Every structure is written in structure tokens, then in C-alpha cells.
Chain A
Amino acid sequence: MNEVVRPEAARPTPVSSGDARDRGGKAQPILTAENLRKYFPIHGGVLMRKIAVVKAVDDVSFMVLKGESLGIVGESGCGKSTLARLLMCLTPRDAGSLVFDGDPIGGTSGLSLRELRRYMQIVFQDSDASLNPRLTVEDSIAYGPRVHGMASAEARALARDLLQRVGLRPELFGMRYPHELSGGQKQRVNVARALALNPRLLILDEAVSALDKSVAAQVLNLLRSLKRSFNLTYLFISHDLDVVQYISDRVLVMYLGQIVEIGPAEAIYRRPMHPYTRALLNSRLALDPRDRVETAPLTGDPPNPINPPSGCRFRTRCPFAEPICAKAAPALAKWVDRASHVAACHMADRASGHSRAGAAPPPLARHVRPEAIVSG
């Protein structure tokens, strides 16, 4: 089940010109992140001084285009969740800038945090911890609009409407408490709550990772249909490659706090350029018992984010590492449009001095088979 067929292929849903809040038009990215950085201090010693830093997000830059679904993949500890919080401004960034549809976030002339909250929302991984156990589902959803000034009765009506749209009957579920719901239902409530503020960009941080596969599939389908009806742009973070492949138009791969590859989903999954992406894809298990992997494609644990290796951070686990990789860190080439496919690897850079520089990336070890259609 290494490939799914989707009727829409790589074409994202167009942003309707009727969206009154659209400022820059189709060509302007909805979100631009530049040189984002977040280091966490570590305290130790007798007086608990700062003795080291964890470089959770290190100089990350990318753009999210309007109407697309951008997937972010990486292993645990690569910084994806920290990145999500930085984008939502829930965690203050140490450096870098964020621009939403042409308006800078923060600063004196840009969007205030409060305004930003109406444009960007987030759904967290833990569906249970995301809901106040002492509030009914309806109250939880209605809270956001009320904070921004909506009248209580109106907010409740909105909450009920949203419940309906995420597939939960409001008469049945509105007055329930979170502990009376299943995981999938709770996550739908979280989606409804995020949509209550009518955002334009929705960040989903491992939103289906904690759910059973069948339930996850339902929620994913829900997300896809909501995207159309609400005119949303998605940023979908996950460690599950299959899920990201299913829902994303473009994919961004992270490793140890940095971006290593960006490109259209199909390109990434069929012809990955970066050795890390290749290894990740090779380590997916197939449903066919005959399709076995003999050697582990990726060995060891990721190195310590406190002291990453010099030069290219992946070189300690890379089968193609050469001396040049330790000396200079490869830069992510500038990508031009939604179809560009770039990687931060010396092999992709003709002028790097790597022996394989400029050559076609080696094929995936796995035999890619046409698979049964999972879903439409």
C-alpha cells in the first residue's frame, strides 16, 4: 500500500475569488516563514545555569501557498511540533519573520496576535487533553467566537452548526462532556472548535496520529471535504508517511530542526532526492508479505539536537556521506513554484564537489506497485 491514487492528483483546490479576506490574490503565499529559529535552554549544575541549548528549529524558511495542503514529515524530535507552535505564535520565536498574506505578524505595523487568531488555527494531537473536561462540547466550541465578541446565543448556534458539519449531531453531542466521546469524535470536536473562528489556514499537528486507522481515515476524509467547503489551506504535520501522502499536495521533510527537502507529493514519494527521505520511504512496511526489506534502511537514533554534527546534519547516518558533507552544510535551493522539487543535499547541488553531485538520484529500493484504490 505504498501508493494511493487520488483523482485530483497534484492540483490544489483553487481559492475562490469570492473570499473577501483574500488580500494578495492567488500568487501570494498565504504564509511565509523566514529564518525561523527556536532554541530551548537546558539548565544544570548546582545553580541551575544555562549550560546548553536544544536547537529545536534552526533557520527554517518556507512558504505555504493558498488553497494547498502542505504536509510536514519527520521523525520524533525533528522539530515539527515546535514549528507548528512557532507558526501559531504560541511559543515566541527567537529569530525569523512570519508574513501572513502580505502582512507581517507581530511588530508595530503588522497583524496583532488577536487578529492572527482569526486567520490561523490549530488542531492538536491529543484529542482528549485539548478539551476542557469541565465544559460541554458546545461550550468548548462556542468559547472562541465569544472571546472575539460574538453574543453567547449566536455562538452556541454557530457551535451547533459546526457540529453538524463535522458529522456529529448537535442534539446528541452538544451537551456531552469530553469523557463521553470516543477519540475520533473528540477530534471532530477539535476540528469544529478550530473552524469556529473561520480561519483561512488550519494547522493539524499530528491530528490523526493517536486515532485508530479506520477512525483516522474518516477524519481525514472529513478534513478533505471541509477544506473545500470552508476554503481552507492546510498545514498537515505527521510522522506517518502514508497519511501525509494521502492528504498533501506538497510535502516538506524535516530533520533535526531543518528542512531537508520540499516538493510536490508525488515527486517526493516517487523520486525522493534527499537520502533521508529515501530512507524514510524505504522503511515503510508493505502489506504484501512477499515484499520484504532485508536490511534496515535507516539505522540508529537521530543524533543529539544539542550538538548536531558539523556540516550536513544527516551525514552520520547517510550511506552517501563524503568529506565534503562534514565540511559544509548543504543549503536548500530556492524553489520557484508549486512544482519545484528541491533538497538540501550536496548530491543535488552540481557545484558542491560531491562525487555524485548533479547525477540522478538513486531509485527507491522498493518496487513500487500499483495498489488497490483506498479511497476517493
Chain B
Amino acid sequence: MTDASFPLSLPSGAEDRFAAAPRGYWHTVGRRLRYDYVTLFFLLVVGLIALAAILAPLVAPFDPNKTSMLYRLKPIGYRGFLLGTDELGRDMLSRLIWGGRMSLTMGLTPVAIATSIGGFLGVVAGFAGGWVNMLVMRTMDVFYAFPSVLLAVAISGTMGGGVANGLVALTLVFIPPLCRVSEAATTQIRTRDFVEAARASGASTLSIIFYHVLRNIMAPVFIYASSLISVSILLAAGLSFLGLGVEPPTADWGLMLSTLRQSIYVQPLICALPGVAIFIASLSFNLVSDGLRQAMDIRV
């Protein structure tokens, strides 16, 4: 290659000086997150909530189901009950910790399942196009025609309530939006040149989907799913509040809010506590997902 009068590359020394070590994508995301104090703080909160939920048996000071006629509706700090007691004399703090287990499960599980199902359907619809796409997306549109609360309540209500039915209802509520996001991302990626180039290399459709498409849609789908977690926590607690989710005497924030409602004239502060827990959990997941979205939105 000696004929070109324009050099093909700079003289070897120069490039070394300017070249920076190549950096992976996740490395860059991590670096950006490191300076986002708000997100990091709430990530810590989320971590604490999760930890408390997992280690509930070890962390809770009392048995959450142990009732006591003597110590009903005691205020905060009364005799070792750090957050008071509820209307049946059970320790609030312990019930909140155990309730976290329930609420987090009802918050995370439907989103996880819905992401898998909805994501899969979206990729299929986005890649297949044509009538398959129309069929899937129009069906999703029908479910979209219901406000989420309405749909969740109606499904779990007619199925008779209970945790399992509540999970099913919530999963069904979240599948359409995740399918939509996944389909939109897939359609957008499918028309890009590198997919054409992969086809031009002779790759099969399956190979293209798994090797090229999936890693490009994972980010938007994942980010959207993480933003749904806070909604799921709210909805799940709402279902329990209406009596459609967890059944007594299981500790659950929504259920606690509902049963304590009658006692607001006696111990208003205690009655508000489960809601504070729901609020903090939802807020934390929301802010973390927002922060993640900003960190992951690198120009790629």
C-alpha cells in the first residue's frame, strides 16, 4: 500500500497519544451514576427495603402476628414498640417489615413476568410485521382501553381476590404497555442498517434477533419496566386496601392501611404509617429508575 499519497493512518506515534483506553458501555453507565447522588441515595433506600424484606425474620423485633388485647393502638415508642401497635395489639414495626416482604413481592413479580411475556410478544410482533403485528397490537389496544386500576380491580375482583389472583391481575395489566414498548423498540431497530448488514452477511432471522436486536432493545424495555415497579407497588397495595389482595391476618401495607382506617380518630399517626412505607418504597423505585434512565441514555 505504497501508492496512496494520502496516508491511510496517522504516523504510528500520534495515535497512541490521542487514543484513550476503550471503555465498555456499562462502565460508562457506572461512571455517570457515581456522581448522581440523588439516585445513589435512593438506591441505598431500595437496598435497605429489600434487605429488610429478605431478612424479615431476623430483623423484626416482635412476632408480627402476635396479638395482644392489652397493648392495642399504643403510640410510638410505647414500651419498646418502636412504632406503636395496631388495633389488635401487634407491633407496627414488625408488621411493616413483614409487610414489606409482601408488598415488594407483589410489586416486583408482576413486572418481572409481564416484562418476559410482553417483551417476547413485542419482539415477535415487531419482527413479524404484517397481520401478526396487527393481531398482537390490536389485542393489546383492547386492554389499553381500560384504566389500569379498573382492570386490576375487575379481574381480581371477579376471580375472587387473594394473592394469586391479584398477581395474575397485575401481570395482565402490565403486559400491554411492555409489549408496546418492546414492539416500538424492535420496529425501530429492525429497519436500521446494521440489521440489514447482518442479513447481508447471511444470518438467519433467529440469529439476528438474539445477537443483534435483543441487546439493543433491552435498555428501553428494562428502563420502562423499572419505572413500572413503583406503579405496581401502588396498585398492589391498592388492591389489598380494597380487600382484593392479601388476606388477613397476613401483614401487608395496603391491608394494614385499610384495617387501621377505622382508628384514625384514636391514633392518627399510627394509621398513616403503612402509607408512609408505600410512599417511600414507590418514591425510591421511581427515582432510581429515573436516574438509571438518565445514566443509560448515552448517545449510542
* Interface residues of A, Cβ cutoff 8 Å to B: 88, 90, 113-114, 116-118, 121-122, 124, 126, 129-136, 140, 143-144, 147-148, 167-169, 172-173, 175-180, 190, 193, 197, 214, 217-218, 221-222, 224-225, 375-376
Contact = CB atoms under 8 A, between A and B. Distances in A.
The 10 closest A-B pairs by CB, nearest first: A117-B202, A144-B201, A167-B8, A221-B4, A133-B300, A129-B193, A130-B193, A176-B22, A175-B22, A147-B203
Interface string B194-211: 101111111110010001
Nearest to B9: A167
Nearest to B196: A90
Contacts of B146: none
A121 B299 contact: no
Contact of A132 (B15, B194, B207): B194
Contacts of A90: 196, 199-200
Contacts of B37: none
B215 interface: yes
A175 B23 CA distance: 8
Contacts of B265: none
Contacts of A178: 300
A97 B3 CA distance: 39
B200 A114 contact: no
Interface in B201-232: 201-204, 207, 211-212, 215-216
Interface string B1-23: 10111111100000110010011
A135 B201 CA distance: 16
A114 B194 contact: no
A323 B274 CA distance: 88
Contacts of A147: 201-204, 207
B6, B23, B211, B298 interface centre (most CB from chain A within 10 Å)? B6
Contact of A222 (B8, B24, B197): B8
B86 to A, nearest CB: 50
B25 interface: yes
A93 to B, nearest CB: 16
Given A124-B197, A129-B192, A130-B196, 4 more contacts: A90-B196, A130-B197, A178-B300, A190-B197
Given A143-B203, A180-B22, A214 B6 contact: yes
A355 B192 CA distance: 50
A190 B200 CA distance: 12
A355 B240 CA distance: 91
Contact of A376 (B4, B9, B22): B4
A176 B204 CA distance: 26
B1 A225 contact: yes
Nearest to A203: B200
A117 B201 contact: yes
A239 B122 CA distance: 39
A172 B19 CA distance: 7
Contact of B200 (A122, A136, A218): A122
A145 to B, nearest CB: 9
Secondary structure dominating the interface of B: loop
Given A147-B207, A175-B22, A225-B1, A218 B6 contact: yes
Interface of B: 1, 3-9, 15-16, 19, 22-25, 192-194, 196-204, 207, 211-212, 215-216, 298-300
Contact of A129 (B194, B201, B207, B215): B194
B15 A169 contact: yes
20 contacts: A113-B202, A116-B202, A117-B202, A121-B200, A122-B197, A124-B196, A133-B216, A133-B300, A134-B215, A144-B201, A144-B203, A147-B201, A147-B202, A148-B201, A148-B202, A168-B9, A169-B15, A222-B8, A375-B6, A376-B4
B196 to A, nearest CB: 6
A119 B194 CA distance: 19
B238 to A, nearest CB: 38
Contacts of B196: 90, 124, 130
Contacts of A134: 25, 215-216, 300
A222 B15 CA distance: 19
Contacts of B5: 375-376
Contacts of B202: 113-114, 116-118, 144, 147-148, 197
B212 A132 contact: yes
Contacts of B211: 143
Contacts of A214: 6
Nearest to A131: B194
Given A129-B192, A129-B194, A131-B194, A218 B8 contact: yes
A117 B5 CA distance: 33
A90, A126, A143, A193 interface centre (most CB from chain B within 10 Å)? A143
Contacts of B197: 122, 124, 130-131, 190, 193
A224 B193 CA distance: 24
B28 to A, nearest CB: 9
Nearest to A114: B202
A375 B300 CA distance: 36
Nearest to B8: A167
Nearest to A373: B5
Nearest to B2: A225
A375 B4 contact: yes
A216 to B, nearest CB: 10
A134 B296 CA distance: 12
A147 B201 CA distance: 8
A172 B211 CA distance: 24
Nearest to B213: A132
Nearest to A218: B6
B27 to A, nearest CB: 11
Given A117-B201, A124-B193, A179 B4 contact: no
A13 to B, nearest CB: 13
Contacts of A180: 22-23
A271 B170 CA distance: 74
B6 A221 contact: yes
A223 to B, nearest CB: 11
Nearest to B219: A134
Contacts of A88: 200
B198 A143 contact: yes
